[in-house]
Amino acid sequence: MSEILRSDALPSASPSLSGPQPVRFRGGGFTVRRHPWAALAAFAVLIGLWEGASRIGLASPLFLPPPSAVGAALSVMVTDGSLWLNLKASLGRIAVGWTLGTLGGMLVGFAMGIGSLARAVGVPLVSAFFPIPKIALLPLFILWFGIGEPSKFATIGFGVFFPTVIATYSAIDSVPRNLIRMAQSFGLPWRSILRSIVLPGALPGILAGFRISSSIALILVVAAEMIGAEYGIGAFVLMAGNLMQTDTLLAGVLVLSLMGLTIGTLLSLLERRLLKWR
């Protein structure tokens, strides 16, 4: 008996508690505490160690240029205007390609979300095309659209199209059926239901899809710029790689990371604006 009780909440050796025993706390753990400065500290330590390792010659500046060198390379990019030039080129490609792919994807996704036949036809086609890495189609796009901008738009657009289709029709599926039934029970016409219920109800899912498709666009702009691009962050990074300028390369990678973070932040802002009701 005492054996059994030992592992218990109440520290007692007898099956009866003689005097009042305080209830022992057994919650705790598995809760998230905040460490507001930990992230900053971690970044500082990481960068410090990295710089230090380079300074004392532990890491060759060729293989791992110190943060100061990366910073210097970045400031060169800023002052000689190449940052802006490359950024502009990449952002322009993302904007056009992403917009085309998203519009097309939403159109097809809506058709598939609402029409049973469109869905029956679309789902297998999409599942067949979706898993194809779009970089594998680059050679084909070059054949079809040439080495200029159109092939880059096409690469990004196609990459964005399929996830958008999937996000859109799943979003429509996830519009609560009970809201549609409610509208029907009040005699709302089909078009009103579509406009007032299906569309706003699908918005969260569609916006979540934007998050995925924008990161795909970022990957694909880099891939597409590896071929025949004079300017662009992807072309820039590739060139730095070819020239073995690792500091410049890392500066380019840093710019990509910032681009990704910025796009993500913008989408969050958009979500917060449009989905205040959640």
Q: How far is the CB of 189 from other proteins (least distance, A)?
A: 6
Q: How far is the CB of 7 from its own copies (least distance, A)?
A: 7
Site string for its own copies, 22-61 (x = CB under 8 A): ----xxxxxxxxxxx-xx-xxx--x---------------
Q: Rule CB under 8 A: say whether 182 interacts with its own copies.
A: no
Q: Which is nearer to its own copies, 201 or 276 (CB)?
A: 201
Concatenated DSSP letters of 77-143: HHHTSHHHHHHHHHHHHHHHHHHHHHHHHHHHHHHHHH-HHHHHHHHHHHHHHTTS-GGGGHHHHHH
Q: Rule CB under 8 A: say whether 91 interacts with its own copies.
A: no
Judged by the rule CB under 8 A, the positions of this chain that interact with other proteins are 1, 3-5, 7-10, 12, 15-28, 60-63, 142-144, 146-148, 178-179, 181-189, 192, 196-197, 200-201, 203, 226-230, 235, 238-239, 241-245, 275-278
CA distance 12 to 2: 8
Q: In the structure encoding, which two tokens stand for residue 102, read together?
A: 């998203």
Q: Rule CB under 8 A: say whether 190 interacts with its own copies.
A: yes
Is there a contact between 164 and 102 (Cβ–Cβ < 8 Å)? yes
Which partner from the list its own copies, other proteins, none does 13 bind, CB cut-off 5 to 8 Å by kind? none
Q: Rounded to 5 degrees, what are φ and ψ at 7?
A: -90, 25
CA distance 102 to 109: 10
Q: Rule CB under 8 A: say whether 231 interacts with its own copies.
A: no
Q: Rule CB under 8 A: say whether 235 interacts with its own copies.
A: no
Q: Which is nearer to other proteins, 21 or 257 (CB)?
A: 21
Q: Rule CB under 8 A: say whether 196 interacts with its own copies.
A: no
Q: Rule CB under 8 A: say whether 201 interacts with its own copies.
A: no
3-state secondary structure of 98: helix
Q: How far is the CB of 126 from other proteins (least distance, A)?
A: 28
CA distance 73 to 165: 40
Q: Rule CB under 8 A: say whether 229 interacts with its own copies.
A: no
The answer for residues whose C-beta is within 8 angstroms of residue 66's C-beta and 6 or more apart is 50, 51, 53, 54, 55, 59
CA distance 8 to 21: 13
Q: Rule CB under 8 A: say whether 237 interacts with its own copies.
A: yes
Q: How far is the CB of 228 from its own copies (least distance, A)?
A: 13
Q: In the structure encoding, which two tokens stand for residue 123, read together?
A: 């789902």
